[in-house]
Amino acid sequence: MIEIRNLTKIYGKQTVLNIPELKIDKGESFGLVGNNGAGKTTMFRCVLDLIRPNTGTVLSKNNNVASTEIWKHYTGSFLDDNFLIDFLTPEEYFRFVADVYRLTAGDLEAFYQEFEDFFNNEILGKRKLIRNLSSGNRQKIGIAAALMPKPEILVLDEPFNNLDPSTQIRLKSILKSWQKEKEITMLISSHDLNHITEVCNRIVILHEGIMVHDLVTNPDTFRVLEEYFAVKG
């Protein structure tokens, strides 16, 4: 589904990302962990064609993300607040996203119903602009908007940050059920080792831009991760 070849990103003299090869299969849930500055966001930005890598390519369904735009049809993403249009109300923003992906009013209604629990009455009908909402609620809007077009590939950067415990649990169950039912390919980064081992079936540890571990999740993974980061810390 996603193939990374010889990808490097260099700022000044510092190589912040160096991935010779990485393949993510369809339906795989790919978790990315690493301390601050490990290059997680940089990698996701390369995957989403938001920064130009110094070398290498990212292929999405064999399309180079930098030279085509087809991948945008089937890729949902939320990295940070720069993805939200903060002077809109949540409804207006969702409607905008729906228009962009050419969804009908019925699709939008179905989306609202599906995410009713996730929003927990804190998002819709509040008549507030997104910029006046708490960061947790903004995060919810971003994640929901990324899922709205029912993407085949989903890219989320630290999605559990800022979310309250209930929403974290709801998000996990949404991600797991979409994996199972829709075979969605997910790229998720997190600082929370618990969440990531629960949601992802493959976990990669990034350190100073290099993939140092590539693990298939099993009951032992959490311990391995904890050991790794205990030494690093």
Partner 1 sequence: MFIRFLLLQIKTATRSPMWQKNLALNLVIGFFLLLFAGYLLMLGLLVNQIMNELLPHQDHFRLFNGILIYYFLGDLLIRFLMQSLPVLTIESFLHLPIRKGTIIRYMIGRTLFDIFSFLPLFILVPVTFTIVIPHEGGLIASLWISTLIVLILSNNFLVTYLKRLLGTKPAVVGAFGLVLILLVILDRANLISLSSISSDIFGYFTHHPLLTLLLVGWMIFTYRLHYQFLSKHLFPDEMQKKKVKEIHDQAESRFLKSMGLTGSIISLEFKLYLRNKRTKTILYMAPVFLLYGMYFYPQNHNQYQDVVLLFVGIFMTGGMMLNYANYAFGYESCYFDGLLTKNIDFNQYILVKFYIAVLISTLCFILTIPYVFYGFKILLINAAMYLYNIGVLSFVLLYFATFNKKRIDLSRGGAFNYQGFGAMNWLALIPTFILPLLVYLPFRMSGHPNTGIAFTGFLGIIGLFFTRFLIRQITKSFFRRKYIMAASFREK
Site string for partner 1, 10-49 (x = CB under 8 A): --------------------------------------xx
Nearest approach, Cβ of residue 66 and partner 1 (Å): 9
With CB under 8 A as the contact rule, which of the stretches 28-36, 96-104, 108-116, 201-209 interacts with partner 1? 96-104
> Which of 73, 176, 182, 232 is in the footprint of partner 1 by CB under 8 A?
73
Q: Which of residues 99-138 bind partner 1 (CB under 8 A)?
A: 99-102, 127-129, 131-132
Please count the residues of the chain.
Answer: 233
Residue 157: phi, psi to the nearest 5? -100, 115
> Which of 84, 143, 187, 205 is in the footprint of partner 1 by CB under 8 A?
84
Is 91 a residue that touches partner 1 (CB under 8 A)? yes
Residue closer to partner 1 by CB (options 66, 224) is 66
Footprint of partner 1 (CB under 8 A): 48-52, 69, 72-73, 75, 77, 79-89, 91-92, 95-97, 99-102, 127-129, 131-132, 149
